[in-house]
Structure 1
Amino acid sequence: MKLKKKNRYWIAVSLFILVIMISACSAEIEPETKPATGVSEDPSSVPPSSEQESPEEKKREETKSFEMLTSEGNQSVEGRLHYAEGFSLYVFEKFTFDADTGRLSLTSNPDYYVDIKPLPADYDLDQLKAAAKEDLSEAGKVTDYSGELVEHPLGFAELYLQSSGVEGISDYMVWTSEQGDAFEFRLHNPKSEEASNFAGPVLVSLSTVQKNR
């Protein structure tokens, strides 16, 4: 009888010690916690914000109004965007643009025109100037207006040569857009009553030429 009581006593003591050991071990193990913010721990899994994404290039408006001096005074004239190989520009009413050749002309008289051509980044200005002088000299005396153009839609021309003869005025220009892209303009402006309808609007159109991005 005494032996049974003694065994019960040691069994109880052993169970008590075992419970204490289990409690101590569980206290040493820290439970894994999740971030309070709910943000993933892996930075690569975070989707990029709108500020991180590269913004799309702003497209040009399909139509745009321009202030222009006409025979009736200053007026707001609407131009429509046209695209060609390598560039775009705004074209006004009474003008026709051939996207294949890059020629902008007066609809009522195609002899009034300007040929537009993008120039490569490594163009040789001296070479272009020599060739243009040779071509223009056939039409008459060549005058150099290169540099700042006062009260002119183009503002500045790296090269601006003009010849005047019995058939009219011919211009050759090398002009750089605000984006830093160079273009070659060849204008032909015959002498007739339609000259005033051509010169003003066509120069404003040329000031809107931009390289396609």
Structure 2
Amino acid sequence: MNQTNRGVTIASVLLLTLTITACQKQTTAPVADSQPTPAVSTTLENQQVDDKTVTDSAESSDNQATTSVEQRESTQSFDMGMGDKRTATLKESNDYSLYVFDGYTLDTATNRLQLTDNPKYYAEIEKLSSDFKLDELRTKGIKELATYGEAKEYKGDQLYEGPMVKASLLLQVSDEKGLHEYIVWEDEQSKDAYIFRVYSPEGKEADTFLTPALTSLASIMSKTDR
């Protein structure tokens, strides 16, 4: 091989070596840049796990709150005053539950709590919508009771420590024919509200009907599984 061809060959080899080295550097550089990707993926996965944990915890708290409302004893003892303690049994409708004493019946078809042996003594239960307005109900109640006479409103100290002491509204008409009451009651836990229309005609049961009936109504609790 002459001197000129040998020089060209050496130059070609050096050029090829430099080209290969440059390609290797370009090939390995992206690999180094791509290494953080798994770390980002792991962070996202951890965040998803944390979010799921928070969600599960919230759902668990909601379930516990619902359970605490719905788990009521099958019977409960009530102090009726003057040393009179009675046991009532839990009764349920589709929307609510309340405690009912012996001698009383909860008719879930008509939403009436009544004396078993004399249904003329009763309390009607009406569930209100969440957007009710107390002033409007007061006006409505006064109009309803006008059929029986002039309604009087009782509240606060006027109700003493009776079963309806926490009523939001209590209107009453009482005459020789009996007693009519229009009561608005709010469930302290669910904030659901009800109207109780109570009728106690003049008769032998008039003196004993009201206290157990109103005590039962005051024990009403909305069901939360709807």
Q: What displacement does 1:177 show?
A: 2.1
Alignment of 1:132-151 (within 5 A): 132-147=141-156, 149-151=159-161
Higher normalized strand content (fraction of residues): 1
Unaligned residue ranges in structure 1 (runs of 5+): 1-41
Q: For the residues of structure 1 that align with 2:217 and 2:124, how far apart are their CA atoms?
A: 10
Q: For the residues of structure 2 that align with 1:184 and 1:60, how far apart are their CA atoms?
A: 23
Q: What displacement does 1:147 show?
A: 4.4
Q: For the residues of structure 2 that align with 1:88 and 1:117, how far apart are their CA atoms?
A: 13
Unaligned residue ranges in structure 2 (runs of 5+): 1-44
Corresponding position of 2:201: 190
- 1:108 and 2:117 equivalent? yes
Aligned equivalent of 2:187, options 177, 190, 205: 177
Q: What displacement does 1:130 show?
A: 1.7
2:120 aligned counterpart, secondary structure: strand
Cα 1:194/1:114, change in 2 over 3 Å: same
Q: For the residues of structure 2 that align with 1:115 and 1:168, how far apart are their CA atoms?
A: 16
Q: What displacement does 1:120 show?
A: 1.1
- 1:89 and 2:98 equivalent? yes
| Runs of 4 or more above 6 Å deviation | none
Letter in 2 for 1:82: K
Q: What displacement does 1:89 show?
A: 0.4
Corresponding position of 1:66: 78
Corresponding position of 2:171: 161
Of 155-164 and 91-100, more deviation after overlay is shown by 155-164
Q: For the residues of structure 2 that align with 1:68 and 1:150, how far apart are their CA atoms?
A: 14
2:83 aligned counterpart, secondary structure: strand
1:110 aligned counterpart, secondary structure: coil
Alignment of 1:120-135 (within 5 A): 120-135=129-144
Q: For the residues of structure 2 that align with 1:140 and 1:206, how far apart are their CA atoms?
A: 24
Q: For the residues of structure 1 that align with 2:173 and 2:163, how far apart are their CA atoms?
A: 20
1:60 aligned counterpart, secondary structure: coil
Does the CA contact (< 8 Å) of 1:113 and 1:187 recur in 2? yes
TM-score (norm 1): 0.71
TM-score (norm 2): 0.67
Letter in 1 for 2:213: V
Does the CA contact (< 8 Å) of 1:141 and 1:165 recur in 2? no
Identity in percent: 36
